[in-house]
């Protein structure tokens, strides 16, 4: 059995182990050694910096033509994540191929093992006494600042699975969804072990994985439908010949 087919079998087994009979989320990370933790929580004094980053972005976004003033704080947070500002969000997708593309297009010259994370979002939310995936922009009882800055009506410790109401073109193309971390500074490895599994994508499997993406028409431009994704796709196509 090739490493690629071994990988697919392990994905299948992992989905069964976490009871993912309904919706399954995936996240690809190019380095197998990285923890499953948002960029914000890697900062010192991250609670203080979160507020400063959010308020500065919200204040300045109206001066940029690409951005419109958001009526909902969650939409502002999604924009921040999109433009690379540290947040308590982690990006996931409902399409496994997209998660594999995240690995390969970030890891094109590297020769290390990578990781695919497989999440049962309902099981994750049940750890926080919620039985559904939260519509972050529509649930009036789930306000970003009130929940995560004021800890009202109660402190949320563990990650929670959420969906945007009006996703951007990029999030829509990626079938993007998110988890939002709570007060715990630890990653999924310490606080949500029963809700997810990690499967290693060996370096030896990546050639077949690239063929899979080619057949599925998942390239930089299809999952990053903007000029940045187009430029990356052109560069790889012309200079790498694939």
Structural domain including 230 reads 3-240
Q: What is the DSSP string of 46-105?
A: HHHHHHHHHHHHHHHGGGSTT----SSHHHHHHHHHHTT---SEEEEES-HHHHHHHHHH
pLDDT tens digits for range 129-160: 988 999 887 777 889 999 999 988 888 889 99
**Which pLDDT tens digits describe the chain residue by residue (242 residues)?**
799 999 999 999 999 999 877 889 999 999 999 989 999 999 989 999 999 999 999 888 776 655 555 668 998 898 889 888 999 999 999 999 999 998 988 745 567 899 999 999 999 999 999 889 998 877 778 899 999 999 888 888 899 999 987 667 777 777 889 999 998 877 788 888 889 999 999 999 999 999 998 888 887 767 776 666 556 656 666 666 55
Number of domains in the chain: 1
The pTM of the full predicted model, rounded to 2 decimals, is: 0.87
Q: Summarize pLDDT for 113-124 with one digit per residue, the tens.
A: 999 999 999 999
């Amino acid at each position: 059995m090739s490493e690629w087919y071994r990988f697919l079998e392990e994905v299948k087994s992992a989905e069964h182990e976490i009871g993912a009979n309904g919706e399954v989320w995936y996240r690809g990370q190019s380095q197998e050694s990285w923890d499953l933790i948002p960029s914000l929580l890697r900062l010192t004094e991250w609670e203080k910096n979160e507020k400063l980053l959010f308020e500065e972005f919200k204040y300045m976004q109206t001066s940029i033509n690409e951005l419109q003033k958001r009526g909902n704080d969650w939409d502002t947070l999604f924009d921040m994540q999109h433009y690379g500002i540290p947040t308590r969000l982690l990006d996931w997708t409902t399409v496994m191929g997209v998660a594999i593309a995240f690995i390969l297009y970030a890891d094109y010259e590297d020769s290390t093992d990578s990781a695919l994370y497989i999440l049962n979002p309902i099981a994750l939310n049940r750890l926080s006494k919620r039985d559904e995936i939260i519509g972050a922009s529509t649930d009036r009882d789930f306000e970003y600042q009130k929940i995560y800055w004021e800890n009202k009506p109660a402190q949320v410790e563990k990650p929670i699975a959420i969906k945007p109401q009006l996703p951007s073109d990029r999030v829509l193309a990626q079938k993007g969804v998110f988890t939002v971390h709570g007060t715990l500074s630890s990653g999924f490895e310490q606080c949500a072990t029963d809700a997810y599994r990690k499967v290693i994508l060996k370096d030896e499997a990546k050639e077949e994985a690239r063929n899979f993406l080619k057949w599925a028409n998942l390239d930089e431009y299809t999952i990053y439908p903007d000029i940045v994704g187009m430029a990356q796709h052109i560069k790889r196509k012309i200079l790498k010949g694939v």
